[in-house]
């Protein structure tokens, strides 16, 4: 074995061990959100900080640095991409001192735990100081990464979630969507008023029945429950590992749709993880290509497939039988495709959802730059939401406390949601051309032809390609919001001039 091969083999072994540590942290994170008693929070924070420190220590070690220096290039495209991702991870890690890594992990854990009490109490002052510490450490980290990577501080944070996308690219996309929404939203509201709505029967819908139905439809969509489980948490998410997927949701006895769509959304994330290339498991190139791509995979299931006319026609008799009452496809469409100026992001319709992301994008940019003080966040949030949707939250629970992300230190993540929605529409348009009869399958509840196409064109590629490269290869076109806006127009205000 030559020197290149030996060094690269050692690198793969080292990164596999780092990935195993990160997997352990992921499982502890799932447990903290879904199972852990409140009394375990302090100890869990130390556990998470220790694992983060160990992972960081390995990544910045002289052994990895020496092996990276010993491997100039690799001929194989997959190994070459893997090596490039290893270098990027090492450069980022060596820029951040271990004490900052552990301090950030500890602060995030403390802040998230306080947020879980502050949110239901609508008490922002309760968590304000903890959030200020998270923001302070985030700014410190962003400043270091910005210098190392020759990026702006916010771009440096955003690149942790989706490489190759910058705020300068996002701003015009979001500005164009705002312009689209100015006419699209009134047009959709007008169309909705003229055509009326069909109601769903009032609750209660038993939680046990909802849970069984969610699991069934998730499994039917392709999630392998031999390597996955469904639980409850304050904020729905998909976590765990490639061979141990953990999805969560929350239930409302008066509205079964919230949990159902939440689970199918997280199922899209889980399918992506389960179908990543096993031969590169625990290697950087074997991971997901980024969170915008990840969101495209959840939204192509939840929004593009499940909310289609064909699938809702299939779903109506299924939920009718489960709950023992008549639930029509028209009622499901009215509920799941109802346009409203919602206060809550996770409950927003797909037309107005990007407005929520645009708000968060602007606020977190301001928090990271220091232009917005944490103490002023509630007022800035309320003013910003009124600017984009014309509504104002009555309290902080429905305002700046509603999302977990900032309280867990995830700054730069939010743009991925809308980039993912736009990418999902672009991918669906390409899939319809490549796989005739998708809607015929949806009408039978069969999403497999779509997921097979996604597995070939997205899942199986791991992180070999970036956001722009993967979309261009899968769809034959550069990233664009055109397919997204066309789909919204046809679904929410057809035959109307905007």
Distance between CA 431 and CA 436 in Å, rounded? 8
Distance between CA 270 and CA 340 in Å, rounded? 29
DSSP letter (8 states) at residue 282: T
Place of tokens 């899942």: 459
Sign of CA dihedral 458, 459, 464, 466: positive
**C-alpha pair distances (Å), 375 with each of 131, 209, 309, 452, 462:** 9, 43, 45, 48, 40
Distance between CA 206 and CA 355 in Å, rounded? 33
Dihedral, 155, 157, 160, 166 alpha carbons, nearest 10? -20
DSSP letter (8 states) at residue 460: G
Residue 249 CB neighbours (<10 A) = 24
CA–chain centroid gap for 115, Å, is 20
Question: Which tokens in the block code for residue 392?
Answer: 């104002």
Distance between CA 356 and CA 87 in Å, rounded? 35
Strand-pair category, 238-241 with 244-249: antiparallel
Give the DSSP H or E segment for 239: strand 238-241
Sign of CA dihedral 120, 124, 127, 130: positive
**C-alpha pair distances (Å), 71 with each of 6, 59, 77, 231:** 9, 16, 15, 44
Q: Where on the phi/psi map is residue 370: left (φ > 0), alpha (ψ -120 to 50), or beta?
A: left
Contact (CB, 8 A) for 29 and 96:
no
- CB neighbour burial string for 470-488, b if at least 16 within 10 angstroms, e if fewer: bbeebbeeebebebbbebb
Beta-bridge partners for 231: 248
Radius of gyration of the chain (CA): 22
266 is catalytic: yes
Residue 441 CB neighbours (<10 A) = 18
Question: Which tokens in the block code for residue 197?
Answer: 């709505």
One of 102, 112, 133, 266 is an active-site residue; which one? 266
Question: Which tokens in the block code for residue 459?
Answer: 């899942």
Question: Which tokens in the block code for residue 376?
Answer: 């002023």
- Tell me which residues are annotated as active site: 266
């Amino acid at each position: 074995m030559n020197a290149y091969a030996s060094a690269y083999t050692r690198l793969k072994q080292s990164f596999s061990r780092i990935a195993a540590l990160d997997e352990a942290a992921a499982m502890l994170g799932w447990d903290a959100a879904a199972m852990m008693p409140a009394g375990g929070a302090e100890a869990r924070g130390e556990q998470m900080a220790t694992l983060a420190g160990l992972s960081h220590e390995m990544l910045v070690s002289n052994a990895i640095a020496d092996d990276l220096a010993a491997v100039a290039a690799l001929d194989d495209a997959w190994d070459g991409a893997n090596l490039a991702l290893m270098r990027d991870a090492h450069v980022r890690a060596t820029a951040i001192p271990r004490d900052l890594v552990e301090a950030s992990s500890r602060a995030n854990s403390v802040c998230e735990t306080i947020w879980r009490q502050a949110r239901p109490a609508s008490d922002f002052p309760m968590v304000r100081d903890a959030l200020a510490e998270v923001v302070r450490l985030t700014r410190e980290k962003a400043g270091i990464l910005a210098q190392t990577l020759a990026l702006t501080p916010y771009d440096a944070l955003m690149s942790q979630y989706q490489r190759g996308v910058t705020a300068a690219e996002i701003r015009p996309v979001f500005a164009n969507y705002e312009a689209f929404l100015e006419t699209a939203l009134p047009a959709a509201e007008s169309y909705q008023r003229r055509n009326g709505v069909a109601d769903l029967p009032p609750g209660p819908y038993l939680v046990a029945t909802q849970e069984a139905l969610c699991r069934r439809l998730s499994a039917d969509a392709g999630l392998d429950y031999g390597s996955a489980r469904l639980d409850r948490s304050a904020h729905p998410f998909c976590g765990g590992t490639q061979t141990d997927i953990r999805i969560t949701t929350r239930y409302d006895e008066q509205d079964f749709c919230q949990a159902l769509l939440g689970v199918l959304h997280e199922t899209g994330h889980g399918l992506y993880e389960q179908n990543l290339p096993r031969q590169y498991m625990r290697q950087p190139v074997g991971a997901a290509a980024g969170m915008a791509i990840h969101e495209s995979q959840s939204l192509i299931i939840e929004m593009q497939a499940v909310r289609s006319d064909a699938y809702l026609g299939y779903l109506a008799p299924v939920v009718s039988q489960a709950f023992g009452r008549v639930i029509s496809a028209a009622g499901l469409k009215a509920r799941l495709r109802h346009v409203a100026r919602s206060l809550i992001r996770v409950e927003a319709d797909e037309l107005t959802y990007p407005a929520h992301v645009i708000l968060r994008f602007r606020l977190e940019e301001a928090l990271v730059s220091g232009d917005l003080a944490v103490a002023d966040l509630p007022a800035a949030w309320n003013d910003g939401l009124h600017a984009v949707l014309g509504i104002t939250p009555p309290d902080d629970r429905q305002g700046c406390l509603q999302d977990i992300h900032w309280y867990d230190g995830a700054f730069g993540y939010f743009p991925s949601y809308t980039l993912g929605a736009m990418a999902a529409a672009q991918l669906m348009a390409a899939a319809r051309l490549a796989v005739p009869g998708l809607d015929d399958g949806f009408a039978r509840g069969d999403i497999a032809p779509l997921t097979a196409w996604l597995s070939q064109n997205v899942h199986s590629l791991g992180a070999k390609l970036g956001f722009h490269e993967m979309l261009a290869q899968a769809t034959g076109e550069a990233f664009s919001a055109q397919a997204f806006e066309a789909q919204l127009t046809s679904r929410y205000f057809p035959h109307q001039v905007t």
